[in-house]
Amino acid sequence: MNSKAKNITAIAMLCAVSYVVMVFGRIPVVLFLKYDPKDAVIALGGLIWGPMTSCIVSVIVSFLEMLSVSETGIIGCMMNIISSCSFACTASVIYKRKRTLTGAVIGLTVGGVTMTAVMMLWNYLVTPLYMGYPREAVAKLLIPAFLPFNLLKSGLNGGFTFLLYKPVITALRKGGYVTASVKQGKKRPAGLILVTVMIMISCILFILSMNVRFPLRPR
């Protein structure tokens, strides 16, 4: 299999896995916001094959989501693309410049912060348009609802990406989908893995506790 065919196959696999985890991993959190781990898969693709792969997969999966399970139409699709790209592409750009454990941690952290900041702005500007909520009500929910949701979402996706990177790239290397030039990275300290798992468990418990109703009514 030549390099072009391998890249197409890799993108197809990432799209398929991202779509499956999006459909079956959707968890209602607060208001109309739902968590799913597809961004972790998209970020993995970016860390391994570069930011352009993350961008392509984000667009394809978001359109598939719009055509199948989403009820928010083209506006929701665009917000999904922006959310996924701001996290996965940012992380992969940083990791591409510094392919080390530190680079991965910094990339995922900056990607999470970037996604949170971008989505706070977009939630404020766009939510009233496609959900019919008064902008004043949306503004009041930015800190108690949208901010913790996006922080927890990026934290969970960053944790999944960090934990899955090494086993995934090892399997891909054995299958011939990545070359030896793609670094596998140093062995991760057990303590860091334990801290990551504990943070993810805390995020999951907090997400479950956020599943409450806010007094937000359509106009």
Query: What value does the mean pLDDT take over residues 30-55?
Result: 91
Q: Is the pLDDT of residue 127 over 90?
A: no
Within a domain: 218: no
Within a domain: 19: yes
Q: Tell me, what's the pLDDT at 181?
A: 55
User: Rounded to an integer, what is the distance from CA 195 to the centroid of its chain?
Assistant: 20
**Averaged pLDDT score across all residues of the chain:** 84
Query: What value does the mean pLDDT take over residues 175-182?
Result: 68
Q: What is the pLDDT of residues 184-201, one digit of tens each?
A: 555 666 666 766 776 677
Q: What CATH number has the domain bearing residue 200?
A: 1.10.1760.20
Residue 61's pLDDT band, with cuts at 50, 70 and 90, is very high
Q: Tell me, what's the pLDDT at 218?
A: 46
- Give the domain range for residue 180: 3-209
Within a domain: 194: yes
Q: Is the pLDDT of residue 162 over 70?
A: yes
Q: Is the pLDDT of residue 25 over 80?
A: yes
Within a domain: 217: no
Residue 33's pLDDT band, with cuts at 50, 70 and 90, is confident
Residue 161's pLDDT band, with cuts at 50, 70 and 90, is very high
Q: Tell me, what's the pLDDT at 30?
A: 76
Number of domains in the chain: 1
Q: What is the pLDDT of residues 98-120, one digit of tens each?
A: 888 889 999 999 999 999 999 99
Query: What value does the mean pLDDT take over residues 22-33?
Result: 84
Q: Tell me, what's the pLDDT at 215?
A: 47
Beta bridge partners of 34: 28
Within a domain: 215: no
Within a domain: 59: yes
Residue 73's pLDDT band, with cuts at 50, 70 and 90, is confident
Percent of the chain with pLDDT over 90: 43
| CA-to-CA dists, residue 28 to 71, 104, 164, 200, 213, angstroms | 14, 29, 24, 17, 11
Q: Is the pLDDT of residue 182 over 70?
A: no
Q: Tell me, what's the pLDDT at 145?
A: 85
Q: Tell me, what's the pLDDT at 133?
A: 77
Per DSSP bridges, beta strands 27-30 and 33-35 are: antiparallel
Within a domain: 108: yes
Within a domain: 219: no
If one counts every other C-beta atom within 10 angstroms of the C-beta of residue 11, the result is: 17
- Do residues 126 and 72 make contact, with C-beta atoms less than 8 angstroms apart? no
Residue type at 104 in one-letter notation: A
| CA-to-CA dists, residue 143 to 103, 117, 136, 155, 156, angstroms | 29, 12, 13, 17, 19
Beta bridge partners of 28: 34
